[in-house]
Structure 1
Amino acid sequence: MIVLSPVEEAVLTARARSARAAHRDVVRARIVLGAADGASNARIAAGLGIGDDTVRKWRGRFAAEGLAGLEDRPRSGRPRRFTPVQRAEVKALACTLPAETGQPLSRWSSTDLAAEVVGRGVAASISASTVRRWLRGDAIKPWQHRSWIFPRDPDFAAKAGRVLDLYARTWEGRPLGDDEYVISADEKSQLQALQRRHRGTPATSGRARRVEFEYRRGGTLAYFAAYDVHRARVIGRIAPKTGIAPFTELVEQVMTTEPYASARRVFWVVDNGSSHSGWRSIERMRSDWPTAELVHFPVHASWLNQVEIYFSILQRKAISPNDFADLDALAARILRFQDRYNTAAEPFTWSYTRTDLNNFVNSLAEHAA
C-alpha cells in the first residue's frame, strides 16, 4: 500500500495533470496516484495502456525512494569511439593549410580531412559528418576563406591613428572646435550604364524580382563624394573619369559651401589614389585652401575610410541591379539618391578606436614573427 504525504500528493497531482511535463513523468505520477488509491497493478496498467511490469517497477521505486525514485537512473551510454587527443589532432589538422601537408589541395573539406586522418593513422576510421560536427563545435570552417592585404606602409599605425583621432574629434591631442570639420572623400570609378536587353519583372508572391542577364554597355563615369563624418552630409559630383582636376573641383565645391567656407579648419581624409596622392596633393590643398588640411590613410587602408560605407549603401540601394538607358540616367540616379540620403542620414556608429588599432598592429607583429 502506497501512502502519500501532502507534499508528495500535491507534486504528483500537478505532474499528472501537466500538459508540458514529459510523458514518462506524467505516466509515473499516475501510477503512484493509482496505487495510493488502492488500485491493483493490473487495473492501473489497463487504465494507462501499459504493461504490468512497468507499473510494478515504478510503484516499487516510489515505495523505496519516494519522489526521487521516479527519476531515471544514470546511464553509462555507448563507449566513446574517439579520445580527446584524437579530437584535438583532427582540429589541429583542420587549422593547417593542405599544402603544408603535401596534399594537392587549396583547402580542406570534411571528406578530405576524414581521409587524411585515416591516412595518418590518427584514427582507424572516421566519417566526414563526425569531423564536421567536431569542427562546428569550435566554429572551425577550413573550407571557407577571406581575402586580406597585409599592411605594407611602415607608418601604418601613425597614419591610421591620426584618422581615428579625427573620427573621435581630436587632432594632435586637442579636441576639435565646433567650427572644425572632418571630411572623408574618395571617388567611385568605372560606374557602368548597363541597359538590359529585355525589361525586368518585379517580385511577386513566391518569386523574386527577375533581371535580364544580357545587356548593352552605355559607357562609364566617376562619382566623387565628400562625406562629413560628424554631420552625415554628402556633397558629390559626376565626372567623366577620375583625376586631379575633378577632385580639385570637388574640393572647391565643398570649400565654397557653408559651413565649410567659413570654418576654421576642414580636415580631408583620403586614401592614396592618384587623384589625391603624395606630398604634392597636400601642398596643392594648402595653397588653394589655407583652412583645409589633407590627411592620408596608410596604403591599403581604405577600410578605414567612412565614405566607402556610403558608397556601399549607394551601390546596394541605387545602382544594383544595374539597368540604365545611358550615362545621364545613371548620373541622375546617383545625385537624386545623394539628395535623398542627406534628408534622413545619421552619422555612422564608428566603434573602431586606437585600442583596436593597437591590438591589430600587435597581431600583425605576431603574424610576421
Structure 2
Amino acid sequence: MPVAPACPIALTAYERERLKKMAYGHKTEHRIRQRAQVVLLAARGRSNARIAREMGLHRDTVRTWRGRFAAHRLPALSDRKRSGRPPRFTPLQTAQVKALACQLPPESGTPLARWSAPELAREVVARHIAPTISASTVRRWLKQDAVKPWQQQSWIFITDPAFRPKAERVLDLYARTWGGLPLGVDEYVISADEKTSVQARCRCHPTLAPGQARAMRVNHTYGRGGALAYLAAYDVHRAKVFGRCEPTTGIDPFMKLVAQVMSQEPYASAKRLFWVVDRNSVRPEAKP
C-alpha cells in the first residue's frame, strides 16, 4: 500500500522561538521536549523515518505528533485531557463530611475533645455517610476549605462594662497620644508585667560539645533552684526592656522595678512617664 506523505510543517517566528525553548529548556518535561524536537526537525523538511532514527522513536510516534501540530499548532503538543477514574464519592457526601467536621464531637456522643482525620473517617462510616473512606481523603477534603478540627484556639468574652474607655486610653498612649494631644519628645510610655513561678534550674553535668560523627550531648538531670518571679518593663516607643528577678511579686518588687527604670535617663528627667500595668502588679499583698 502506498505510504501517505508526511504533513509539511511551516513555522512562524513566534512558533519557532517557543519550540526552541521547549526543546532545549532545562526545566522542560522530557515528553514535551521530544515533541518539540520532532516538530523542529519536521520543519526542516526531514521525513518521519529519518526523524525516528535520529531520535530513537517509533515512526508512528513521529507521525502522530507531526500530524497533531499541523492540525492544531502549539496547543496540540500538550497531553489531552483524560476522563480519569469515575468519582467514588458524591458532592453530597463531601458536604456531609465537612459539616460533620464542623460539629463538636460531644454533640454526636463521641468521647473526644477534638476530631482527627482517622476519627472522622470512622464516624463517617458509622453514620453510613459512605461505606468506606480513608483518613487521607477526609484530610484532603477539609484542606479545600481550610477546616482544621484538630486545632484549637483559646478565647474569652470581655465582661468589663468599662473596657472600652480603659482600652482607649492604653491604645492612645501606644499611638503616642494623650487627651487628644500628641506626646512630646520628653514623654514616654512604659508597659510592665510579671511572670510568676519561673523555675530556676541548672544541669547537674555540663553539656558536651559536638564532635566528628557525634551529636551534642545534654544530660537530662538538673537541680532545682526554686521558683522566681520575673518583672519586666518595656519602653513601647523605644523598644527597650528592663527586667529583674524577685522571690515573689507584689508592690515592693514592683517599686524596685520602677526605681530601676526611673534611675536611668531619659526617664529620670522626663516631663511625663506613663506606666501601663494590671492590678496584679501593684496590689499590696504578695503572691504566694
User: Do both proteins adopt the same fold according to a TM-score greater than 0.5, normalized to the shorter chain?
Assistant: yes
Q: CA deviation at 1:276?
A: 1.0
Q: CA deviation at 1:113?
A: 0.7
Name stretches of at least 5 consecutive residues in structure 2 with no aligned partner. Answer: 1-5
1:2 to 4, 7, 13: 7
2:232 to 216, 220, 225: 225
What does residue range 265-344 of structure 1 map to in structure 2 within 5 Å? 265-273=272-280, 275-277=281-283
Q: CA deviation at 1:149?
A: 4.0
CA shift in 2, pair 1:196/1:35, >3 Å: closer
Q: Is the 8 A contact 1:2 1:36 kept in 2?
A: no
Q: CA deviation at 1:192?
A: 3.2
The root-mean-square deviation of aligned C-alpha atoms, in Å, is: 3.0
Matched, 1:200 2:207: yes
1:261 to 259, 265, 268: 268
2:254 to 247, 250, 255: 247
Q: Is the 8 A contact 1:16 1:30 kept in 2?
A: yes
- Offset from partner CA, 1:315-359 (integer Å, 9 cap, x none): xxxxxxxxxxxxxxxxxxxxxxxxxxxxxxxxxxxxxxxxxxxxx
Q: Is the 8 A contact 2:8 2:45 kept in 1?
A: no
CA shift in 2, pair 1:147/1:203, >3 Å: farther
Which of the two has greater helix per residue?
1
Q: CA deviation at 1:49?
A: 2.4
CA shift in 2, pair 1:36/1:227, >3 Å: closer
Q: Is the 8 A contact 1:167 1:229 kept in 2?
A: yes
Q: Look up the equivalent residue of 1:260 and give its one-letter code.
A: Y
Question: For residue 135 of structure 1, what is the aligned residue in structure 2?
Answer: 142
Query: For the residues of structure 1 that align with 2:210 and 2:168, how far apart are their CA atoms?
Result: 46
Q: Look up the equivalent residue of 2:7 and give its one-letter code.
A: I
CA shift in 2, pair 1:254/1:24, >3 Å: closer
Matched, 1:122 2:157: no
Q: Look up the equivalent residue of 2:88 and give its one-letter code.
A: R
3-state SS in 1 of match to 2:279: coil
- Offset from partner CA, 1:238-265 (integer Å, 9 cap, x none): 4332122222233234335443333332
Query: For the residues of structure 1 that align with 2:21 and 2:186, how far apart are their CA atoms?
Result: 71
Q: Is the 8 A contact 2:10 2:43 kept in 1?
A: no
- Offset from partner CA, 1:207-245 (integer Å, 9 cap, x none): 664432222222333333322222233344443321222
Matched, 1:171 2:178: yes
Query: For the residues of structure 2 that align with 1:111 and 1:217, how far apart are their CA atoms?
Result: 41
Q: Is the 8 A contact 2:9 2:42 kept in 1?
A: no
CA shift in 2, pair 1:46/1:127, >3 Å: same
Q: Look up the equivalent residue of 2:225 and give its one-letter code.
A: G
Question: For residue 61 of structure 1, what is the aligned residue in structure 2?
Answer: 68
Equivalent pairs, count: 278
CA shift in 2, pair 1:202/1:153, >3 Å: farther
TM-score (norm 2): 0.81
Q: Look up the equivalent residue of 1:276 and give its one-letter code.
A: V
CA shift in 2, pair 1:207/1:63, >3 Å: same
Q: Percent identity?
A: 60
Q: CA deviation at 1:131?
A: 0.7
Q: Is the 8 A contact 2:191 2:234 kept in 1?
A: yes
Q: CA deviation at 1:136?
A: 2.3
Query: Relative contact order, CA 8 A, sep 6+: which one is greater?
Result: 1
Query: For the residues of structure 1 that align with 2:166 and 2:240, how far apart are their CA atoms?
Result: 24
Q: Is the 8 A contact 1:226 1:235 kept in 2?
A: yes
Q: Look up the equivalent residue of 1:250 and give its one-letter code.
A: L
Question: For residue 38 of structure 2, what is the aligned residue in structure 1?
Answer: 31
- Offset from partner CA, 1:41-87 (integer Å, 9 cap, x none): 44433332222322232233334444444343333232222333332
Q: Look up the equivalent residue of 2:133 and give its one-letter code.
A: I
User: Of the two, which has the highest radius of gyration?
Assistant: 2
CA shift in 2, pair 1:47/1:174, >3 Å: same
Q: Is the 8 A contact 2:96 2:129 kept in 1?
A: yes
Question: For residue 112 of structure 1, what is the aligned residue in structure 2?
Answer: 119
Query: For the residues of structure 1 that align with 2:197 and 2:7, how far apart are their CA atoms?
Result: 86
Q: Look up the equivalent residue of 2:55 and give its one-letter code.
A: L
Q: Look up the equivalent residue of 1:143 and give its one-letter code.
A: W
Question: For residue 158 of structure 1, what is the aligned residue in structure 2?
Answer: 165
1:80 to 78, 87, 104: 87
What does residue range 143-154 of structure 1 map to in structure 2 within 5 Å? 143-154=150-161
Q: Is the 8 A contact 1:2 1:32 kept in 2?
A: no
Query: For the residues of structure 1 that align with 2:26 and 2:235, how far apart are their CA atoms?
Result: 60
3-state SS in 1 of match to 2:12: helix
Query: For the residues of structure 1 that align with 2:137 and 2:84, how far apart are their CA atoms?
Result: 18
Q: Look up the equivalent residue of 1:10 and give its one-letter code.
A: R
